[in-house]
Structure 1
Amino acid sequence: MKYITAFFMAWGNFITLPCPYKKWDSKLLNMMLMFLPAIGAVIGALWLIVIELMVWFGIPDQITAFVAVFFLFAICGFMHLDGFMDCNDAILSRRPLEERQRILKDSNVGAFAVVSVVFLLLGWYAAMTVQIQSTHLLVYFLIPIVSRLNAGWDVLTKDPIGHSQYAADHSEKGKWKYEIVMVAETMIFVIIWVAIFGIESWRTGDITVIAIECAACIAAGGFARKQLGGMSGDIAGYTICFGELAAIITAAIVL
C-alpha cells in the first residue's frame, strides 16, 4: 500500500493533472522520488500525443512548437521552471555562498531569473520548431523520463542544502533500493516502447540525444550544487530544465 501512496504522492506533487488518490505520508518522501521516472513517462506519453495530434491536424509548425513547449512546463505546474529561475538568480549573483543560499530561498524574482528563462524558452522554441518537422515520438517520450531519473538520483544521493525539504530524510537507510528501482523503471519503459513499436522505432541519433541529455543533467546538477552548497528541489528543477533543453536542441540537430 505504501508504494501506491508514494506513487500518487509523486503524481500529486509533480503533475497538475487531477490526482485519483489523494494521500500524503511525509515518511515516504524518498520513496516518492523513486517514482519520478514513472511520472516522466506519464508526461512524455501525454506530450507526444498532443504533438502528434497537432501535426495530424495540420497545425502550423510554429503554433505546434509553442503549444508543445507550453504543455511540457504547464503539466508540471511550472515547478521545474521555478527552480531553474531561483537557481539562476542565486548563481548569477556571484555573491558569497550564504548570500546565494538566501537568494535561492527568496520568493522575489530577480533580473537574472528573467533573463535566463527568456533564453531558455527561446532555445526551446527554436529547437522545437525544427524538431516538429521530424515528429520523432520516441524522443518526446524519453526526454521527460531521463531528466527526472537524473534529478531524482541526485536528490537521493547528493548531500542536501540545510533548508531543503529533503534534508530530514537524507539519512534514511536502504535508499539504494530506490535508486535501483528508478533505473529499472526507465529500462522497463524502453522495453515497453520497443515491444509496442518495434526496434525499428529507434534511430541512431536517439542514443546521442539521451547521452547528451544525461551529460547535461550531470554537468548542470554538479555545477549548481557546487555553487549553492548542496542539493535541493530547486536544483532538481534546474537540472531537469538544462537536461531537457540540451536534449531537444540535440534532437533538432541530429534527427
Structure 2
Amino acid sequence: MKFITAFFMAWGNFITLPCPYKKWDGGLKNMMLAFLPLTGAVIGSIWGLVIWSMRSIDAAQPQGLAVPSPLAAVLAVFLLFALCGFMHLDGFMDCNDAILSRRPMEDKQRILKDSTVGAFAVVTLMFLLLTWYACMSVCWDKVPCVTFFMIPVLSRSLSGAAVMRHRPLGTSQYREDYRQPGKWKWHVMNGVLCAICVLPALALAYRQSFLRPAILMIVEMAVTAGIAGRYARRQLGGMSGDIAGYMICWSEFAGIVTLTVTAGN
C-alpha cells in the first residue's frame, strides 16, 4: 500500500493530470522520489503519443489537412512543460536569478526563495524556449517517438537521485528526509524503474536504426545533469527542489539538442 501511496504522491506533485488517488504521507518522500522515473514515463508516453498523432495527420493529409512544422514544434514544446505544470521551469528561472546575480551565497539563497521574477530568469527562459523551439522544428518528425519518451524519464530519474543523495538547503522541503536510514534502497528502486522504462525503448530505437543517437542522448543528458547540479549546489550551498528543476531543464535541453544534431546529419 505504501508503494501505491508513494507513486500517487509523485503523480500529484509532479504531473498536472488529475490524480486518481489522493493521499499524502510525509514519511514517504524518499520513496516518492524513487517513483520519479514513472512520472516521467507518464509524461513521455503522452508527449510521444501527441507527436506521433501530429505525424500521422501530416502523413495522411486528409483533404489537404496537415500540421505545419512551426505549429507542431510549439505544441510539442508547450505540452512537455505543461504536463508538469511548468514547475521545473520555475526552478530553472529561480536558480538562474540567484546564480547569475553573482552576489554572496546568503543573498543568492534569499533570491532563490523570492517570489518575484528577475531579469536573469526572463532572459535565460527566453533563450531556453527559443532553442527548444528551433530544435523541435527540425527533429519533431525525424526522430523515433520512443526516443522522445525517454527524455522525461531520464531527466526525472537523475534529479530524483540527486535530491536523495546530496545535502539539502536549510529551506528545502527535503531537509528532514535527508538522513532517513535505508535510503539506499530508494536509490536502487529509482535506477531499476528507470531501466525498466528505458531499456525497452532502446530496443525499439535499435529496431528503427536509431540506437547510437539514443545512447548518445542518454550520455549527454546524464553528463549535463551532473554538471548543472554540481554547479548549482556549489553556488547555492546545497540541494533543493528548485535545483532539481534546474537539472531537469538542462538535461532535457541537452537531450533535445543532441537529437537535433543527430537528426540533421
| 1:139 and 2:147 are equivalent in the alignment | yes
User: 1:190 Cα shift?
Assistant: 2.7
| 1:125 and 2:133 are equivalent in the alignment | yes
User: 1:97 Cα shift?
Assistant: 0.2
Mapped contact 1:52–1:135 kept (Cα < 8 A): no
SS in 1 for 2:142: coil
SS in 2 for 1:244: helix
User: 1:198 Cα shift?
Assistant: 7.5
Equivalent in the alignment of 2:102 = 94
| 1:216 and 2:256 are equivalent in the alignment | no
Alignment of 1:1-255 (within 5 A): 1-58=1-58, 59-193=67-201, 197=204, 199-201=206-208, 202-255=210-263
> Letter of the aligned partner of 1:146 in structure 2?
L
Once residues 18 and 133 of structure 1 are traced to their aligned partners in structure 2, the CA distance between those partners, rounded to angstroms, is 29
User: 1:186 Cα shift?
Assistant: 1.3
User: 1:252 Cα shift?
Assistant: 0.2
TM-score by length of 1: 0.97
- Number of equivalent positions: 254
TM-score by length of 2: 0.93
User: 1:135 Cα shift?
Assistant: 3.4
Once residues 201 and 80 of structure 2 are traced to their aligned partners in structure 1, the CA distance between those partners, rounded to angstroms, is 20
For structure 2, the residue ranges without an aligned partner over 5 or more in a row are 59-66
Once residues 95 and 70 of structure 1 are traced to their aligned partners in structure 2, the CA distance between those partners, rounded to angstroms, is 33
User: 1:187 Cα shift?
Assistant: 1.2
Runs in 1 of length 4+ with deviation above 2 angstroms?
190-195
Once residues 241 and 20 of structure 1 are traced to their aligned partners in structure 2, the CA distance between those partners, rounded to angstroms, is 27
Once residues 135 and 251 of structure 1 are traced to their aligned partners in structure 2, the CA distance between those partners, rounded to angstroms, is 7
Once residues 71 and 118 of structure 1 are traced to their aligned partners in structure 2, the CA distance between those partners, rounded to angstroms, is 17
Equivalent in the alignment of 2:61 = none
Once residues 198 and 229 of structure 1 are traced to their aligned partners in structure 2, the CA distance between those partners, rounded to angstroms, is 40
> Letter of the aligned partner of 1:217 in structure 2?
A
For structure 1, the residue ranges without an aligned partner over 5 or more in a row are none
> Letter of the aligned partner of 1:75 in structure 2?
L
Mapped contact 2:205–2:211 kept (Cα < 8 A): no
